[in-house]
Amino acid sequence: MVNLLPKPIKRKIRFDYYLRLTAGAFFVCAIVILMGIALLIPSYLFARNEAETSTRYVASIQEKTELQQRGGVQASIALLAERLKIIKEYNRQPVTAHILSRLEGRLPSRVTLQKIGVRFTAPGEGDILISGFAETRNGLLEYAQALQKESIFAGVVVPVSQLSLDRDIDFSLSFAFTVTP
């Protein structure tokens, strides 16, 4: 087959052909790129949303961990404070035992103690309230004098109203104590 067209027209047709081919290729590439962008936008939005969710999740885990650590520290401090309180109470126990042994050691056979109250006002110091029953007035006076002779007790006084009876006397005495370690 022989082309009968003159050369300048052939070149122009060839140029137009390649121009249209190139324009068509650019147009097809543009459509492919636009379709790719359109199809990738939902994936991009989903990935961005997942990244934000992951960031918030990591932040909440870190906050929760910090709160648990703070809570653990606070629980440890509370536990130590409670143990310290218990230890302080045990430190007072020998003082109370010492006071009770002194009260019981001076107790005559004709006097019975029914209630003993010990209140600490400072370490080694406090007040005592004892109540009980004495068979005779002399038994009550003997017990009060024996307590007055103890160096740790101060202010042991028998009220006159409790000495009005000769027998079967209900009494109550209140006085201070000081125990030096």
For the chain, the domains span 1-93, 106-178
Which pLDDT tens digit goes with each residue over 85-100? 888 776 655 677 788 8
Residues 50, 167: Cα–Cα separation, whole Å: 93
pLDDT at 179 exceeding the cut of 90: no
Radius of gyration of the chain, Cα coordinates, nearest whole angstrom: 51
Residues 140, 133: Cα–Cα separation, whole Å: 9
Contact 171, 131 (CB under 8 A): yes
Contact 102, 153 (CB under 8 A): yes
Which pLDDT tens digit goes with each residue over 132-173? 999 988 888 899 999 999 889 999 988 777 677 778 888 899
Q: Which of 169, 110, 115 shows the shortest CA–CA distance to 142?
A: 110
In degrees rounded to 5, what are phi and psi of residue 114? -110, -40
The pTM assigned to this predicted structure is: 0.48
